[in-house]
Amino acid sequence: MLVADRYRLHTVIGRGGMGEVWHAQDEVLGRPVAVKVLLNDVADASAEARFRLEAQTSARLNHPNVVGTLDFGTWEGRCFLVMELVDGGSLAAELTGGGPLHADRLAQVAQEAAEGLAAAHEQGIVHRDVKPGNLLSDRHGTIRIADFGIARFVDDPSAGLTTTGQIVGTGLYLAPERAIGTPASSASDMYSLGCVLYQLAVGHPPFEADTPTALLYQHVDAPPVPPHQRGAALPPAFEAYLLSMLAKRPEDRPTARQAADWFRSGAWRGAPEPLPPELPDAVEPYRQAGRRNTGPGRHRGT
């Protein structure tokens, strides 16, 4: 199947709520690419606008830790997006295929994912769906952030909830402020990355529950169990920094740039820096908001 007289589709390598991703060949430049095609059954005006926004958002980013956008267009009435082909798998596959990651590999993942997020944040872009399936690892082990399909610019007033009151993102990695309906920020991405790193270190996310509502309340109220209590062999400094990424208050989390620099420096190998004592009411605004919001927005996971 030839898309736009240029991209020959070979095999499906991924499928999501909006589209399917194909391993393809660019017959003009003679190189392998990934082509994401909008599904026919969701190809309404809203889906097309979101698909186009994904292309425009990712095209603004030119960074070795972000999957690059190469082309965008329409073909037989369907939108398509051409991206770099990452010759490897996602971190979701690494979780499925083996146990927790060694601290050295985890630090590399943390640094490179934070580098990619810093590039996005410096362009005013919030990813809003950082999760293992959106962090790709190429054949050299380099981390590449993918799928800016629900990303928003930080000054976009629609960045928190959709018009139907749905919380956008994946519940296992959703920041506390997102759980109570506050618009996404760069700090929300860092919380999500912290959840991913915790899962890669321990083998499961910091919070799990039987229902989406219970899961959201855990993000708001429950402190994460320190990884070493769940068998993770992380240096004390690494564990302390990871827990700081899971702070309930956005302002208490490191920025993506700070995290990238910290992991690159090798400081994660040492002893933790002393932290100020936590104030008893530090998370109370989120707890109160969560209690008032007895029915958190209907969650839409991917």
CA atoms of 37 and 19, how far apart (whole Å): 5
CA atoms of 191 and 253, how far apart (whole Å): 8
Q: Which candidate, 248, 203, 192, places its Cα nearest to that of 224?
A: 248
CATH of domain 88-300: 1.10.510.10
- Whether 119 contacts 111, CB under 8 Å: no
Largest CA distance in the chain: 63
Which amino acid would we find at residue 278? E
- Report the SS3 class of residue 3: strand
Please list, in sequence order, all residues whose beta carbon lies within 8 angstroms of the beta carbon of residue 238, skipping any fewer than 6 positions away: 103, 106, 107, 268, 269
Per-residue pLDDT band for 265 (boundaries 50, 70, 90) equals very high
Question: Given the DSSP bridges, would you call strands 69-75 and 31-38 parallel, antiparallel or unpaired?
Answer: unpaired
Q: Report residue 231 as tokens.
A: 């068998």
- 75-120 pLDDT, tens digit per residue, is 988 899 999 999 888 998 888 877 799 999 999 999 999 999 999 9
SS (H, E, C) 35-60: EEEECHHHCCHHHHHHHHHHHHHHHC
CA atoms of 213 and 246, how far apart (whole Å): 19
- CA 279 → CA 15, 189, 244, 292, distances in Å? 45, 24, 15, 22
Q: Give burial (CB, 10 Å; 0-12/13-18/19+) of 96.
A: exposed
Residue 292 confidence (pLDDT): 52
Interhelix angle 186-202/256-265, rounded to 10 degrees, is 40
- 182-240 pLDDT, tens digit per residue, is 989 999 999 999 999 999 999 999 999 999 999 999 999 999 999 999 999 999 999 99
Q: Mind telling me the catalytic residues? A: 129
CA atoms of 37 and 73, how far apart (whole Å): 10
Q: What's the pTM?
A: 0.83
Q: Where are the domains positioned within the chain?
A: 2-84, 88-300
Please list, in sequence order, all residues whose beta carbon lies within 8 angstroms of the beta carbon of residue 287, skipping any fewer than 6 positions away: 220, 221
- 114-144 pLDDT, tens digit per residue, is 999 999 999 999 999 999 999 999 999 999 9
- Whether 208 contacts 196, CB under 8 Å: no
Which amino acid would we find at residue 143? I
Residue 202 confidence (pLDDT): 96
Mean pLDDT of the chain: 85
Residue-wise DSSP of 204-219? S-S---SSHHHHHHHH
Domain 2-84 has CATH 3.40.190.10: no
Give the mean model confidence (pLDDT) for residues 274-286.
53
- 35-74 pLDDT, tens digit per residue, is 999 887 666 777 788 888 888 888 889 999 999 999 999 9
Give the mean model confidence (pLDDT) for residues 277-282.
51
Give the mean model confidence (pLDDT) for residues 163-190.
80
